């Protein structure tokens, strides 16, 4: 086995998708995205047949298609007032989306839907279905069980937005996406933040109208991509099911184990922080101002994703991930002081946290794709992503419930346990290699 310390210097980019196919490697829907993620250090190498508008259209469609993810979070005060739901309901409803996303990811991978069928058609179907689920949630919001079911279904179809959009991009750009990877992940971040902006723009709207606008945006995402992005010119991969034995690489390969455990630490913090942002802002703001700043804090993650992608060539994925993980952990620890600080410090702290809490996200996929067994890259990514989202459910439920009993100043520093765990796990990949005696 190679020295794990080499992770601080990214390996040479992996073989392009076409080469993987030519050599008989099997690509599931997730592993196609992994194939380009592992090549993050290279510049965008577009196919001669790829029009210049393709990548911006895919980024925009990814952004709009993911907008239903946090629709409930943006209007939670309205739902509490209308139906008397407890404050911790926001955690339960967010966890339902996470659970649906896990189920969707596994089903799509097991059935190899993005390999057996047109990824454009699948993206369109999932965006329309996600929009329909959002309308259904608005129609039956008076019932918590019904709302939970609709939100879980929304998460299921979101699994056909982000991963499938990534696959479409990787097929059109088989030479790798380079720094554009940051924009593609940033599109998910901005889309997740967008319901807060819609709530701010329509403070006079009933909460149901926010849901309907989010649904319309999601539906338009599917239509946009279907109309403006042709079928990729490359031959489809041979479809296979999910390889559950791929999980063995998590404990057999030190490099895979380091990147996967680092990702798990990252997931302890990420979605919980996003869910708690409105509660943090509510200590100083209300109404449209709260929604605008919540959008700014979550949306600031785009800067972290893009800046991280630009720095990978110089510092390597492991060091970029470690730096952002350390910064977000320090933001957790600074919470008791920042919550009482002057406004400029308070908002600066939140923006920095918003940038760094998600800026490392693209790098975990890149590291895992580089180090996982070539014949099982997609399975390893799908299974570890599912486990990561399961961890986020536990973290969301725990911290949201505790936030009703423990002051935020005392609670938020405990979120630093996730980044700390991730940094320790990633250490074999980012620390300098020991000097060997001659």
Give the model confidence (pLDDT) of 337-389 as tens digits.
999 999 999 999 999 999 999 988 888 878 887 777 766 666 777 788 888 99
Cβ atoms of residues 377 and 36 within 8 Å: no
The total of structural domains in the chain comes to 1
Q: Average pLDDT in the 300-310 region? A: 89
Highest mean pLDDT of the ranges 4-13, 203-212, 249-258: 203-212
Whose CA is closest to 105, among 88, 133, 126, 83?
126
Top pLDDT among 246 and 229 is at 229
CB atoms near residue 40 (< 10 Å): 28
What pLDDT digit, counting tens, does each position of 156-165 carry? 999 889 888 8
Q: Is residue 6 part of a domain?
A: no
**What is this structure's pTM?**
0.81
Record the tokens describing residue 116, joined without a space.
Answer: 């057996």
**Mean pLDDT value across the chain:** 82
Residue 8: inside a domain: no
What is the share, in percent, of the chain residues with pLDDT greater than 70?
81
- Please report, for the domain that includes residue 264, its CATH number: 1.20.1250.20
Q: Is residue 240 within 8 Å of residue 25, measured between CB atoms?
A: no
Distance CA 278, CA 281 (A): 5
What's the confidence (pLDDT) of residue 241?
A: 60
* 46 belongs to a structural domain: yes
User: Does 317 have pLDDT greater than 60?
Assistant: yes
The DSSP letter of residue 128 is H
Could you read off the pLDDT of 93-144 as tens digits, one per residue? Answer: 999 999 999 999 888 888 877 777 888 899 999 999 999 999 999 998 888 9
Q: Which of 181-185, 206-210, 315-319, 421-425 has the highest mean pLDDT?
A: 421-425
Q: What is the largest CA-CA distance in the chain?
A: 73
312 vs 404, higher pLDDT: 404
Looking at residues 301-324, what average pLDDT do you find?
88
Is residue 87 a part of any domain in this protein? Answer: yes
**CA distance linking residue 171 with residue 236, whole number of Å:** 9
Q: Give Cβ neighbours of residue 410 (< 8 Å, ≥ 6 apart).
A: 336
Residue 16 lies in a domain: no
- What range does the domain containing 408 cover? 29-430
Tokens 């919980």 correspond to 272
Residue 15 counted as domain residue: no
Q: Where are the alpha helices (DSSP H) in 159-286?
A: 162-172, 180-201, 207-228, 249-252, 254-281
Structural domain contains residue 10? no
CA distance 68 to 194: 9
In a domain, 62, yes or no: yes
């Amino acid at each position: 086995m190679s020295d794990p310390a080499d992770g601080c210097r990214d390996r040479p980019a992996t073989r392009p998708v076409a080469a993987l196919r030519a050599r008989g490697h099997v690509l599931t829907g997730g592993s196609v995205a992994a194939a380009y993620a592992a090549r993050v250090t290279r510049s965008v190498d577009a196919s001669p047949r790829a029009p210049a508008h393709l990548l911006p259209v895919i980024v925009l469609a990814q952004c709009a298609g993911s907008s239903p993810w946090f629709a409930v979070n943006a209007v939670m005060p309205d739902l509490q007032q209308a139906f008397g739901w407890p404050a911790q309901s926001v955690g339960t409803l967010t966890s339902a989306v996470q659970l649906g996303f896990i189920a969707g990811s596994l089903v799509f991978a097991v059935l190899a839907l993005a390999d057996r069928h047109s990824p454009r058609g699948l993206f369109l179907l999932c965006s329309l279905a996600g929009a329909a689920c959002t309308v259904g949630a608005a129609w039956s919001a008076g019932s918590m069980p019904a709302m939970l079911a609709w939100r879980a279904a929304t998460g299921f179809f979101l699994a056909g937005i982000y991963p499938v959009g990534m696959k479409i991009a990787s097929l059109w750009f088989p030479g790798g996406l380079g720094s554009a990877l940051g924009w593609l992940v940033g599109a998910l971040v901005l889309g997740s933040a967008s319901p807060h902006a819609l709530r701010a723009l329509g403070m006079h709207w009933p909460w149901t109208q926010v849901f309907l606008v989010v649904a319309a945006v999601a539906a338009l995402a599917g239509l946009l991509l279907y109309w403006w992005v042709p079928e990729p010119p490359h031959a489809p991969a041979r479809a296979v099911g999910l390889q559950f034995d791929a999980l063995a690489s998590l404990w057999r390969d030190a490099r895979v184990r380091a990147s996967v455990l680092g990702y798990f630490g990252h997931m302890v913090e990420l979605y919980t922080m996003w869910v708690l942002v409105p509660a943090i802002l509510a200590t100083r703001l209300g109404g449209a101002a709260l929604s605008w700043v919540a959008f700014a804090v979550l949306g600031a993650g785009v800067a972290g994703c893009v800046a991280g992608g630009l720095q990978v060539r110089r510092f390597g994925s492991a060091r970029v991930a470690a730096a952002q993980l350390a910064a977000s952990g320090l933001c957790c620890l600074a919470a008791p002081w920042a919550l009482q600080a002057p406004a400029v410090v308070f908002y600066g702290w939140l923006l920095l946290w918003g940038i760094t809490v998600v800026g490392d996200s693209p790098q975990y996929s890149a590291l895992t794709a580089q180090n996982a067994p070539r014949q099982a890259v997609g399975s390893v990514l799908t299974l570890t992503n599912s486990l990561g989202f399961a961890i986020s459910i536990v973290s969301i439920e725990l911290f949201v419930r505790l936030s009703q009993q423990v002051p935020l100043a005392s609670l938020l520093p405990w979120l630093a346990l996730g980044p700390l765990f991730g940094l320790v796990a990633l250490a074999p990949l980012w620390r300098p290699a020991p000097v060997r005696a001659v």
